[in-house]
Amino acid sequence: MKKTDLELLTNENNLNTNDDSIKTIGDSHWFTGLNTPMREDAFEVSNDDKKEKIADLFKEIMTVLGLDLADDSLKGTPKRVAKMYVEELFSGLNPLNMPDITLFDNKYQYNQMLVEKNITFYSNCEHHFVPIIGKAHVAYISSGKVIGLSKLNRIVQHFAKRPQVQERLTNQIASELKTILNTEDVAVIIDAKHLCVSSRGIKDDASTTITSYYGGAFKTQAKIVELQNYLKD
C-alpha cells in the first residue's frame, strides 16, 4: 500500500518526531494531505475488539488521573467512551460506514447552483481530541444528476466523524461530492469553533475558523458572490 502523506512528508523534510518538534507544530493546522492518516492494518481488528481494548486503555488513563473507578458514576465510563469512539465520534474512519448515495436524473432541467446551508456537524481536533463544532455550506451545479438533499448532510457528517483538521475536512467533502456528482462545479464552506482554542491554550471563546473550496464554475468571482449572497442571514 502507498505510504501515507505524513510518512512521505517526514522522509522528505527529515522531520524529527521528538517532543521539541511536536511543540513547534503546536496548535498549527498540520495539513498532511487529503486522506486521513491511517495505518495499513486499521481494519484488521473487529469493532468489538477495538471497544474492549479502548475501554481497558481508558480505564488506565482514568486510574492514572486518580479517579476512583469503583464509584457508581465512573465504573461504566471506560466502556461508554469506547463505544462512543468506535460507533459514534470516529465511525467515519471506516469506509464501510460511508452513506449509500442515490442519484436522480435532473429532469427538472435545473442548471443553477443548489445550495444546502447550515449543515450542523460535530468533529474532533486530531491534535487534542477535543470537539470541533460547526456548520458546513455545500453547493453544486448539476452535470445531469442530482442528489437527495439529506445525503449532502450525511456526507458532511461522515467525514466529520473522525479525528480531523478543518482544511482536510473541507477538501474531503468537496472531493467526495465531485466524484459522486461527476462534476467539478462544487463548493464547500465550513465555519467552525475549535474547542482546542476556546477551552484550552489561548482560551479564545469568540473566534471561529472559516475554510472554503471552490471548484469549476465556482472559481469565478460572479459565482462566489452569488453563493455568498445566499449564505447571508
Residue of 88, 116, 125, 228 marked active site: 125
Concatenating the DSSP letter of every residue in 56-79 gives: HHHHHHHHHTT--TTSTTTTTHHH
Residue of 157, 164, 166, 172 marked active site: 166
5 close to 35: Cβ distance less than 8 angstroms: yes
Residue of 137, 158, 176, 196 marked active site: 196
Residue of 128, 167, 184, 226 marked active site: 128
221 close to 228: Cβ distance less than 8 angstroms: no
63 close to 69: Cβ distance less than 8 angstroms: yes
Task: Tell me whether residue 226 is one of the annotated catalytic residues.
Answer: no
Task: Tell me whether residue 126 is one of the annotated catalytic residues.
Answer: yes
Task: Tell me whether residue 128 is one of the annotated catalytic residues.
Answer: yes
Task: Tell me whether residue 166 is one of the annotated catalytic residues.
Answer: yes
Residue of 126, 158, 172, 176 marked active site: 126
Task: Tell me whether residue 196 is one of the annotated catalytic residues.
Answer: yes
Task: Tell me whether residue 127 is one of the annotated catalytic residues.
Answer: yes
115 close to 188: Cβ distance less than 8 angstroms: no
- Active site positions, annotated: 125-128, 166, 194, 196
